[in-house]
C-alpha cells in the first residue's frame, strides 16, 4: 500500500515536470545579466571550495579519533542486524 502511494506521487510529479518544464527561457538574458550571473557563480564556487575544504579537514580529524571509529563500527553493524531481525 505504501509503495503504491509513493509510486503514484512520483509518477504525478514526473508528469507535472514534463508538462511544465520549458526548454528555453522566454527571453534570453542580456549581456549585463550574463556577466552578473558569471560573477555570482565564481563567488559561489569559491565559497563551496572553502566549505568543502573545511568539511574534508573535519572528516579527517573525526576518522583519526578512535572513539568515533568504534562508535561508527558498533552502530554501523548493529543497525542493519536489528532491521533484518524486525523484518523477518
pLDDT in tens, 55-78: 999 999 999 998 888 888 888 877
d(CA 13, CA 10): 5
Segment 17-61, tens digit of pLDDT? 888 777 776 676 788 887 887 788 888 888 888 888 999 999 999
Task: Look up the pTM and report it.
Answer: 0.42
Nearest to 75 by CA among 59, 86, 67: 67
Cβ neighbours of residue 63 under 8 Å, at least 6 residues apart? 69
Amino acid at each position: 500500500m505504501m509503495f503504491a502511494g509513493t509510486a503514484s506521487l512520483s509518477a504525478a510529479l514526473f508528469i507535472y515536470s514534463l508538462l511544465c518544464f520549458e526548454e528555453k527561457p522566454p527571453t534570453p538574458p542580456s549581456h549585463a545579466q550574463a556577466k552578473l550571473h558569471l560573477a555570482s557563480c565564481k563567488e559561489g564556487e569559491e565559497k563551496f571550495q572553502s566549505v568543502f575544504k573545511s568539511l574534508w579537514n573535519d572528516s579527517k580529524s573525526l576518522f583519526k579519533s578512535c572513539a568515533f571509529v568504534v562508535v561508527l563500527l558498533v552502530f554501523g553493524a548493529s543497525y542493519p542486524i536489528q532491521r533484518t531481525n524486525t523484518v523477518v
